[in-house]
């Protein structure tokens, strides 16, 4: 299949699908200046061990270490802005071509771009919560407390320990994952964008959809069963697919 034809094929799959869901990973946000986790030479995890830096073990047992390293990673995403790919997905949702976005990312960029139905299966960096009473607070409050030397930060209501609402290594998956699973099961088409599909249990989701498209710069374990594979940046690939969508009827 000629490279140009693959964009048309994806457009036709979207046109014929009764329900299309999107699954995004770190690769969609690299164009917003957020390093991904595994790209050779640029991956975040080449510089530190994520299973330690962003683990419940360090968060609860060595909070000073967590707030010196892992927490800074979370805060570094706060000022990032959506890129072309995020805006295209928000428009596709508005136009009725996609049902929802399931994201492994914690950078809030889908919401900033205008996406409405977003399942954050690894949590998010907008809020924190109390591990004792469940009080939800802004991430800015956590940051302010930590900057004043309050480590771990404490809840103003019950004096329990506050933590970011991000799924750490060692955490259970959030309610959004269960909802995402049902969305995937109910879908005709899943389009994976910027994910290497190596992190469990999210990498089980593509197998639940009838049809699969993968847009990722490197190989994934699901490439063989995909209807189409595009090795390109998210913004470039989606721009080309959208051009065909406008003409396919």
- Let me know whether 68 and 183 are in one domain: no
Residue range of the domain that includes 103: 1-34+82-122+172-248
Q: Is the pTM of this model over 0.75?
A: yes
- Let me know whether 154 and 44 are in one domain: yes
Q: State pLDDT tens for residues 42-89.
A: 445 555 666 678 899 999 999 999 999 889 889 988 889 999 999 999
Q: State pLDDT tens for residues 33-42.
A: 887 655 555 4
Pick from 24, 10, 50, 20: nearest CA to 195? 24
- Let me know whether 136 and 42 are in one domain: yes
Please tell me the chain's helix, strand, coil percentages from 3-state DSSP, rounded to the nearest 5.
40, 20, 40
- Which residues fall in the annotated binding site? 26, 30, 37-38, 104, 106-107, 122, 130, 133, 155, 158, 195-196, 216, 234
- Which residues fall in the annotated binding site for NAD(+)? 26, 30, 37-38, 104, 106-107, 122, 195-196, 216, 234
Contact 67, 96 (CB under 8 A): no
Q: What is the rounded (10 degree) CA torsion for 118, 72, 48, 84?
A: 40
Greater confidence (36 vs 12) lies with 12
CATH number at residue 219: 3.40.50.1220
- How many whole angstroms separate alpha carbon 63 and alpha carbon 149? 11
- Let me know whether 51 and 27 are in one domain: no
- Let me know whether 145 and 216 are in one domain: no
- Let me know whether 87 and 177 are in one domain: yes
Q: N- to C-terminal Cα distance for the chain?
A: 21
- How many whole angstroms separate alpha carbon 38 and alpha carbon 249? 39
Position 249 pLDDT exceeds 50: no
- Let me know whether 20 and 91 are in one domain: yes
pLDDT at res. 163: 97
Q: Average pLDDT of the chain?
A: 92
Position 213 pLDDT exceeds 70: yes
- Let me know whether 138 and 238 are in one domain: no
């Amino acid at each position: 299949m000629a490279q140009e034809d693959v964009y048309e094929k994806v457009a036709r799959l979207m046109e014929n699908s009764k329900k299309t869901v999107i699954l995004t990973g770190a690769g969609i946000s690299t164009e917003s200046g957020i390093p991904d986790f595994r790209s050779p030479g640029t991956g975040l995890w080449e510089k530190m061990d994520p299973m330690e830096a962003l683990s419940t073990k360090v968060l609860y047992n060595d909070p000073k270490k967590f707030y010196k390293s892992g927490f800074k990673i979370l805060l570094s995403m706060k000022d990032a802005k959506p890129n072309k790919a995020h805006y295209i997905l928000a428009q596709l949702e508005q136009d009725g071509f996609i049902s929802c976005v399931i994201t492994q990312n914690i950078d809030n960029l889908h919401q900033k771009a205008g996406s409405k139905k977003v399942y954050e299966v690894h949590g998010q960096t907008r809020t924190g919560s109390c591990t004792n009473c469940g009080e939800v607070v802004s991430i800015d409050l956590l940051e302010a407390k930590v900057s004043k030397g309050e480590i771990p930060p404490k809840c103003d209501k019950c004096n329990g320990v506050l933590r970011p609402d991000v799924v750490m290594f060692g955490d259970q998956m959030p309610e959004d994952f269960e909802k995402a699973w049902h969305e995937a099961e109910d879908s005709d088409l899943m389009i994976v964008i910027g994910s290497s599909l190596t992190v469990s249990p999210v990498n089980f989701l593509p197998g639940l959809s009838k049809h699969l498209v993968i847009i990722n710069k490197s190989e994934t374990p699901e490439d063989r069963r995909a209807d189409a594979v595009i090795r390109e940046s998210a913004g470039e690939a989606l721009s080309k697919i959208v051009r065909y969508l406008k003409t396919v009827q």
